[in-house]
């Protein structure tokens, strides 16, 4: 598309970023040429999102520099990025539910008429034009509150198109789109490219990458692995570069006796989120639930635990039907769920370890209506020993603990309720390597004691290393079930990305 | 790829629900008028209507400013104290300078209100104090200043020039001057939230503050603007208050913020920001004023007046929450069905 010698629109040199001890990006450097589609691929946690945030000025690198048109540039904040013509479409749509589609597209930049008033006619016409270009089936006056995830994603694209971007970053723009909509999107991307816009395209679907991208950059564990013309890379080559490692990292999986079916889900559906999900879990089994972010893994878990309502589907626990009305009801039936966003959903930060651990079992600690602090402390000490939580005492405030130890406190909280089935959502997300192994040991140990574990994780190695069986989700559907013996990184990625396995 | 039918159905469902609010208040208003007309003999007299118009006028003036603040997902509790303080200062100015120009004193009151509102805005946007706490604090502080300035004394109607008192007593075309002023403020306010680009930002900020920041909207500056306008209109409200109730002391307009917030909330402005209309606020204020007037005519006790205020807020917010949830659920289902139909057509 461009002569290789031209000045890149954007060049990164030695970009490094560390988050509380975890290296998100290490010495990353590559260049993006104008009028190209540049795919950015890598496993979850490879550093793609961090990179996008740095380029759009949301966060600042610890080290390294950004060159725009060959000149070192500091991108201070998102507004500065806008001024430089860098526009990002975020993975999590940032829409205004109370406003109409047209107003969302032009939020903060309403077209104006004569006396600096909002020109509603121009607003609607401009918005209509962009929506038609995208080929969507909602109009400018539609209230955004009624739009689903896919439509909101399209709205994000419309927003990005409405601003005069030179560099457009699309973070998983197709994750929730139908094939038809993807086609329209790609036509738009190609049109933009002809106008000289550079597009950074982030996607887990490899056939899309090879279809649309001119250049592919691969990141792994926060490091830059390769930047090559897309034509020179096969799917298999991309997967190998993304994964890079072999499964020799140590996962202390204890042998557990696998017993009867304790949990069964039949035809679970929730409109627009997931559909017809059926599976079984056995006693003492660790079942991995793999799939990319947005594939519906977490949503299934939330519905099973009674947080979001199911549209259809039935659940059985130990042969008896169970209706997930509320987390409270789920807990009573022996289900426990450790949420993904532990800092917000799982812990009360300003409270002590003891109070957090006892939260789900307070009635048992309060005979006669008064809390017995001694019992609470004893409970906390038991788990502090069992899970090796590094805290000075049950009275220590949770906020002051490290991420890994906080994770163990959440785990203790749910274990205190003595569950039969434990759903873990990204249990080691953002914890350091040492703690990770510790958490893995704990999980394995719990399974060996007869607990059933559903392990949701974006980290392939973790899923492969820990699971007896792996379920793979893609776009809200369960697309594969792979036994421990047959499971390989390539197979799981291929299933999650929807590429033919032969290619990988 | 166009489905005009589906497009209009989703759209009309939502706008119907929003209009429903205003129609609902109109119905309630009609019911209240009918009830009091039968029970209270004087209710339908011109004099009574003029009284209601005068009572509601100041609530509307201050309510327009409060609406802007609530749209941004904040709240201004200090408006009662600002009204009290500026009412006293307006009256005191006339008492000491009998010849002062009415327009000039009004401008001074507005400017003082603007300054006090600016302080609220800075506390919320710059010092990051939650609005409910920041304005609770300034509610106390501004009232304290008021007490200090009045020194326990008061100003009576005898000390004020007729030119000023006429503001409340004249009734051009049978409608009190105060009501004309309120109508003007409400129309300007309605036009602003419809056509001023900066006030569209209020809706965006209240709807999703994080997204507003990403969209490059100067969130802090807009929030400060909303509080400053709220303060300025409370200042104007104070000026009008002094002409309507010319005996002004340190407790003037105490608790007035409750009337204002009730009108705003009943008028359908979402307390979580992002939606609401000035027409709704005007209707909300009218409903509250009508019912209170009826209660007074029927000699129903102060307890029931306050009870009704609180009860109405609870009912309004509950209905809001239910309607929003139902609407979202209905729209989501409608889309899901449409998508499923399309998938079927495409044969996937």
Contacts of A271 in chain B (CB under 8 A): 332-333, 336
pLDDT at residue B1 is higher than 70: no
Q: Which residues contact A319 (CB under 8 A, 6 or more apart)?
A: none
ipTM over 0.85: no
Contacts of B198 in chain A (CB under 8 A): none
Give pLDDT, residue B12.
54
Contacts of A137 in chain B (CB under 8 A): 1-3, 6-7, 338, 342
CB contact under 8 A, A137 and B333: no
pLDDT digit string, tens, across residues B47-91: 899 989 998 999 999 999 999 999 999 999 999 999 999 999 999
Which of B11, B197, B206 lies nearest to residue A118, judging by beta carbons?
B197
Give pLDDT, residue A58.
83
Strands, E assignment, A271-311: 274-282, 286-290
Distances (CA, A) of B93 to A177, B89, B105, B144, B326: 66, 6, 7, 19, 53
Nearest residue in chain A measured CA to CA from B337 = A271
Give pLDDT, residue A458.
79
Residue A90's nearest CA partner among A186, A191, A217, A200 is: A200
CB contact under 8 A, A142 and B7: yes
Successive 10-residue mean pLDDT values, chain A, 504 residues:
68 86 82 93 78 88 91 84 84 79 87 82 90 82 79 82 85 74 83 89 83 92 89 82 58 76 92 89 93 84 91 92 88 85 68 84 77 85 83 83 77 86 83 67 86 88 88 90 86 79 42
Nearest residue in chain A measured CA to CA from B325 = A145
Give pLDDT, residue A233.
86
Give pLDDT, residue A244.
67
Which residues of chain B from 202 to 231 reach within 8 Å of chain A, CB to CB?
A: 203-204, 206-208, 210-217
Give pLDDT, residue B190.
94
Which of A82, A139, A271 lies nearest to residue B7, judging by beta carbons?
A139
Nearest residue in chain A measured CA to CA from B329 = A146
- Sign of dihedral through CA atoms B146, B151, B152, B155? negative
* Percent with pLDDT over 90 in chain B: 47
Intra-chain end-to-end CA distance of chain A, in Å: 27
State how far residue A295 is from chain B, nearest Cα, in angstroms.
17
Q: Which residues contact A245 (CB under 8 A, 6 or more apart)?
A: A461
Q: Which two tokens stand for residue A77?
A: 């904040």
CA distance B21 to B17: 7
pLDDT at residue B344 is higher than 70: no
Give pLDDT, residue A221.
80
Which of A98, A138, A150 lies nearest to residue B203, judging by beta carbons?
A98
Which of A95, A118, A146 lies nearest to residue B208, judging by beta carbons?
A95
How confident is the model over B282-294, as a mean pLDDT?
90
Nearest residue in chain A measured CA to CA from B11 = A142
According to DSSP, residue B127 is labeled S
Residue B71's nearest CA partner among B267, B316, B238, B233 is: B267
Distances (CA, A) of A446 to A109, A229, A281, A334, A388: 55, 47, 15, 15, 14
Contact A106, A119 (CB under 8 A): no
CB contact under 8 A, B339 and A272: yes
How confident is the model over B215-225, as a mean pLDDT?
89
Contacts of B333 in chain A (CB under 8 A): 271
CB contact under 8 A, B204 and A97: no
Nearest residue in chain B measured CA to CA from A93 = B211
Give pLDDT, residue B341.
62
Which of A107, A112, A118 lies nearest to residue B217, judging by beta carbons?
A107
CB contact under 8 A, A107 and B212: yes
Pick the range with the lowest mean pLDDT from A33-47, A359-373, B9-23, B138-152: B9-23
Give pLDDT, residue B345.
54
According to DSSP, residue A342 is labeled I
CB contact under 8 A, A108 and B342: no
pTM passes above 0.80: no
Give pLDDT, residue A246.
43
CB contact under 8 A, B11 and A150: no
């Amino acid at each position: 598309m461009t002569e290789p010698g031209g000045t890149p629109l954007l060049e990164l040199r030695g970009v490094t970023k560390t988050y509380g001890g975890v290296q998100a990006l290490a010495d990353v450097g590559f260049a993006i040429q104008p009028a190209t589609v540049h795919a950015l691929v890598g496993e979850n946690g490879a550093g793609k999102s961090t990179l996008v945030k740095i380029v759009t000025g949301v966060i600042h690198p610890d080290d390294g520099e950004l060159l725009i048109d060959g000149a070192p540039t500091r991108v201070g904040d998102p507004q500065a990025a806008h001024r430089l013509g860098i526009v990002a479409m975020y993975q999590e749509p940032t829409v205004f539910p109370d406003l109409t589609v047209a107003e969302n597209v032009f939020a903060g930049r309403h077209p104006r008429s004569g006396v600096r008033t909002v020109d509603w006619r121009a607003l609607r016409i401009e918005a209509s034009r962009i929506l038609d270009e995208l080929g969507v089936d909602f109009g400018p006056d539609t209230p955004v509150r009624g739009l689903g995830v896919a439509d909101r994603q399209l709205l994000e694209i419309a927003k990005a198109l409405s601003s005069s971007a030179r560099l457009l970053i699309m973070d998983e723009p197709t994750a929730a789109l139908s094939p038809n909509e993807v086609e329209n999107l790609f036509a738009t991307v190609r049109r933009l490219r002809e106008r000289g816009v550079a597009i950074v395209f982030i996607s887990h679907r490899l056939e899309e990458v090879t279809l649309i991208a001119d250049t592919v950059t691969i990141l792994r564990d926060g490091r830059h692995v390769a930047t090559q013309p897309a034509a020179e890379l096969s799917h298999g080559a991309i997967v190998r570069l993304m994964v890079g490692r072999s499964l020799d990292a140590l996962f202390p999986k204890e042998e557990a006796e696998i017993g009867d079916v304790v949990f069964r889900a039949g035809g679970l559906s929730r409109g627009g989120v997931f559909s017809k999900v059926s599976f079984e879990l056995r006693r003492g089994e660790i079942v991995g639930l793999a799939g990319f972010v947005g594939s519906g893994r977490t949503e299934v878990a939330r519905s099973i635990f009674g947080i979001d309502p199911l549209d259809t589907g039935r659940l059985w626990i130990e042969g008896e039907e169970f209706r997930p009305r509320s987390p409270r009801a789920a807990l009573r039936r022996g289900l426990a769920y450790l949420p993904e966003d532990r800092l917000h959903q799982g812990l009360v930060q300003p409270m002590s370890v003891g109070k957090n651990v006892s939260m789900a079992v307070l009635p048992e600690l309060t005979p006669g209506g008064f809390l017995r602090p001694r019992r609470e402390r004893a409970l906390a000490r038991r788990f502090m020993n069992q899970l090796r939580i590094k805290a000075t005492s049950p009275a220590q405030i949770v906020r002051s603990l490290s991420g890994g130890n906080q994770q163990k406190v959440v785990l203790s909280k749910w274990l205190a309720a003595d569950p039969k089935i434990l759903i873990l959502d990204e249990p080691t997300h953002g914890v350091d390597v040492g703690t990770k192994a510790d958490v893995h040991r704990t999980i394995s140990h719990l399974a060996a004691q007869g607990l059933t574990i559903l392990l949701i994780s974006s980290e392939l190695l973790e899923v492969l290393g820990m699971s007896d069986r792996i379920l793979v989700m893609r776009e809200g559907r369960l697309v594969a079930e792979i036994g421990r013996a047959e499971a390989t990184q390539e197979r799981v990625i291929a299933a999650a990305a929807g590429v033919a396995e032969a290619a990988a | 790829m166009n489905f005009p039918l589906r497009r209009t159905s989703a759209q009309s469902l939502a706008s119907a629900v929003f209009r429903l609010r205003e129609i609902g208040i109109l119905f309630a208003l009609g019911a209240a008028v009918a009830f009091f007309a039968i029970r209270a003999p004087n209710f339908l007299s011109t004099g009574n209507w003029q009284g209601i118009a005068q009572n509601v006028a100041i609530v509307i003036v201050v309510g327009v400013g409060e609406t802007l603040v609530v749209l941004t997902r904040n709240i201004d509790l200090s408006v009662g104290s600002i009204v009290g303080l500026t009412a006293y200062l307006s009256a005191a100015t006339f008492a000491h300078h009998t010849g002062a120009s009415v327009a000039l004193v009004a401008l001074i009151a507005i400017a003082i209100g603007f300054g006090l509102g600016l302080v609220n805005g800075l506390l919320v946007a710059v010092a990051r104090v939650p609005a409910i706490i920041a304005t609770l604090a300034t509610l106390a502080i501004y009232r304290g200043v008021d007490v200090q300035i009045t020194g326990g004394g008061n100003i009576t109607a005898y000390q004020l020039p007729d030119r000023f008192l006429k503001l409340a007593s004249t009734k051009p075309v049978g409608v009190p001057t105060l009501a004309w002023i309120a109508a003007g403020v409400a129309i300007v306010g309605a036009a602003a939230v419809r056509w001023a680009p900066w006030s569209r930002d209020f809706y965006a900020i209240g709807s999703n503050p994080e997204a507003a920041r990403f969209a490059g909207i100067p969130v802090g500056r807009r929030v400060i603007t909303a509080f400053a306008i709220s303060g300025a209109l409370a200042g104007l409200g104070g000026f009008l208050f002094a002409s309507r109730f010319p005996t002004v002391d340190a407790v003037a307009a105490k608790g007035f913020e409750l009337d204002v917030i009730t009108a705003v909330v009943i008028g359908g402005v979402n307390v979580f920001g992002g939606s609401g209309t000035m027409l709704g606020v005007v209707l909300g204020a009218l409903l509250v004023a009508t019912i209170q007037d009826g209660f007074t005519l029927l000699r129903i006790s102060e307890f029931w007046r306050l009870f009704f205020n609180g009860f109405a807020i609870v009912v309004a917010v509950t209905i809001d929450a239910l309607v929003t949830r139902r609407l979202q659920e209905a729209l989501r289902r409608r889309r899901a069905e449409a998508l499923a139909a399309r998938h079927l057509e495409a044969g996937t």
